[in-house]
Structures are given as structure tokens and as C-alpha cells.
Amino acid sequence: MDRRTLLLLSLACAVGVGNVYFPQAIGPLVATGLGASPDSAAQIVTATQIGYTVGIFLLVPLGDRIPYRPLLVTLFGLTGAGLVAAGCAPALPPLVAASALVGVTTVAAQLVAPLAAGLVGEERRGAVLGTLLSGSLAGMLLARTFSGTLGERLGWRAPYLVAAVVVFLLAAVLARTLPAGTPPERRSYPALLAEPLRLLRSEPELRRSCLYQATVFAGFSAVWTCVALLLTGPAHGLDVRAVGLLALVNAVTVLCTPYAGRQVDRRGADAVNLVCLLAVLGSAALLAAGSRGGAVGLAALAGGTLLLDVAMQSGMIANQARVFALRPDARARLNTAYMTCAYLGGSAGSWLGVRAYGLAGWGGVCALVAALAGVALARHLVAVRHRKAPAAASVDPVGRPARGPVGAVAARPDCPPRRDG
């Protein structure tokens, strides 16, 4: 993989993720333009996000059966068609339906990651994944600004139509530049859909990575679900614009993830996971000071959310590097299992966060973050101690048992070494 290809794949991640998040900034404009209530207009955001989750489950496994170039080009083409339909929608129901279609098909980032993992060696995989994640984060952050600014000037339809043009152009470039590739699997589609569940049962390292990301993402979602309640409450007395300004602080994460990827390549996924989980515990303590109000409280919230975001995204790079090293022939299905667990954890975290805030206020949310990180850290320490127990065993750069002499297989916790001959 050369730099041009990596830049193009990062752009694909940014555009794919941006299509999920840019409708969040134009909900009020949609409500005014279509004569709907703000609550009804918010359905476009919900439909896009639900569609995105469905797309991860239904479409990402196809990356192991269909060559990536035609698959990505087709999905971007369908996304562009959905964006055009949304931009031309005469009423809210067709707009909601088109938004769901956009969500289902704009899963490029979840396909690009396993594609890139197969184009580089393990010694560069962490750095490449970190660069791709930076692209996704940039798309997430810039999409809201893009759509809000363009929508205010040209109306709510403009962001959809401009995004469609960008998607179609990107699809054309990908069709000319991406390597064709050969799909590693010829299984039927139903078999591919069932495979992520089987991989979760058979791969303990996949389960471990899923647990880490699900718990940390749950804490992250709990914080961002409840921080608006804290900022608009009596402790701070601000309006919802303060949440947007606080979110801009996390733009620093875009610069941190490539460094985290290089550390995964150099020190291994387990070492990076340990630092990240400790950082999540530290962010919980820092966030707890945010309930004080005033400048001190705002500074604590800014520092705590930034530390939490950097830890979560850096941990994701380590987890994906570990996961993609398990089965080179099943990277898309592994990523399906991993991302589905992560999003389920995030949804559960939002639900738990609201209830923790209702029972114990902001301190309850911070305690929830610490408890979730504590669960992941305990599991991590057990895994590391178990891995160090066999003195003769060694591990590769992503924390997975390395191969021994020719003819031997990797030692794994769930199966004894094979005796050749």
C-alpha cells in the first residue's frame, strides 16, 4: 500500500462516516422546510443510525465473498442514489426512508479497515488502522460543520445533494485505483451472516477485544448522553451550544490515533490496551470534577472527555489489530462481530447512563464509566497473566501467540499444541 492509496482509503472512511452524522446539524432546517415538528424531523437521524447498524450486520460480511473494489463502488453508488433521493424528498416520510437507505449502504469505513489490513504486513497494520481511524474521526467532526453551514446558506436539501456529488466522484476514483483483489470465501450469504456468531464462540481473542471495546464505548456513550443534562442544569446553566463546543475539543484525537497505531506496531496491542484502560479510569476521576461548575468544572469536562475519547479510539486500534491477525480469510466477518458488539455496548451505555444520572447525578455516570473500565481491566490482567504463564510461549506484535518452529502451531488458551509426527 502506497501513501496515495492510504490517503484515498482514509477519505473513503471520512465520507462514509460523515454521511451518518451530517443530518444531525440540519434537523431544525428540515422541520422548517417540510412543515414538520422538530421531534418528527429528528427521525432522519434515527433512521440513518439504525440503517448503519443494519448495514454493518448485513453488508460488511460480504467483504469476505465479493472483491472489495466492486463492493465498495457499488455501495458508494447506492449511497449517492439515497442522498439524491433524500435531497429531492417532497415530504418527511420519503426523507426518512431515503435516510435509512443511506445508513445501510454507507458502511465503507467498516469494509475499508479489513481491506487495508490485508494490504499491509503486521508490522505496519497498527499505523495504517490509526490513519484510517483519523479519517473517520475527521469525517465525523467536519460533517456537522459542513452540513450546518451549507444548510443555513442554501437550505436543507443542499447538504444532501453536495454529499451525493462527492460520493459519486469518490466511487469513480475508487473504481479506477483500488486493487481488484480475490475474495477468500465462496460460502453462501446466509452462511456468511451466521459466521460472526460462530467466530465469537470459537475465538477467545475476538471475545476479549469485543469486551474491551463494548465496555469503553458504553462509558463513552453514557458520558455524551448525559453531559448535555449537566451543562444545561443548575451547576453550569449553559445552553446546548456548549455541548457542540465541548465536542470540538475532541478534534485533537485525530492527531493522536496515528501515534497510537505506531505504538501498537512497536509495543503490541496488549500494552496499548493497558494504557488505554488506565486512561479511561483517569478520565472518570477527571470528569467527576466537572460537577463543580464554573471554569474549573468546564476545564475538567474538556480534559476528561478528551482523555476518554483518545483512550477509546486508541484502544479500538489495538483491538482491531489483534482481531485482524486471527483469521486473514475472515477479516470482514471478524470486523462485523467486533463492531456489532461495540455498538451494542454503546447503546447499552446510553441507557445505563441516563438511569445512573437519574439515580445519582453526574457522579453516578462517572462511577459507571469507572466500573465498566474496571471490568475490562480485570479481564485484561487475567489474560496477560495467563499468557505469561507458559514460559516457553511467545507473542507476536499484536498480542497473539506467535508460531514456533516450522510445523508447529500457535499456542492458544483454548487448544493444546499439536504434536507433529
Which pLDDT score, from 0 to 100, does residue 115 have? Answer: 79
* Structural domains of the chain sorted by starting position, each given as residue range(s) with its CATH number in brackets: 1-181 (1.20.1250.20), 189-394 (1.20.1250.20)
Max distance between CA atoms of the chain, in angstroms, equals: 76
Helix axis angle, 68-87 to 108-119, nearest 10°: 160
41 vs 411, residue with greater confidence: 41
DSSP code string of 223-246: HHHHHHHHHTSTTT---THHHHHH
Q: Please return the burial class of 111, using the count of CB atoms within 10 Å of its CB with bins 0-12, 13-18 and 19+.
A: buried
**Residue range 393-405: average pLDDT?**
47
**Residue range 221-229: average pLDDT?**
79
Q: What are the angstrom distances between the C-alpha of 4 and each of 10, 70, 99, 269, 278?
A: 10, 19, 31, 26, 36
Report the candidate in 327, 272, 338 with the shortest Cα–Cα distance to residue 127.
272
| Mean model confidence pLDDT for the chain | 82
d(CA 219, CA 208): 17
pTM of the model: 0.71
- Of the pLDDT bands very low, low, confident and very high (cuts 50, 70, 90), residue 358 is confident
**Residue range 26-53: average pLDDT?**
78
Report the candidate in 128, 239, 197, 220 with the shortest Cα–Cα distance to residue 338.
197
Report the candidate in 298, 289, 303 with the shortest Cα–Cα distance to residue 362.
289
Euclidean distance between the first and the last CA atom of the chain, given in angstroms as a whole number: 39
**Residue range 145-154: average pLDDT?**
80
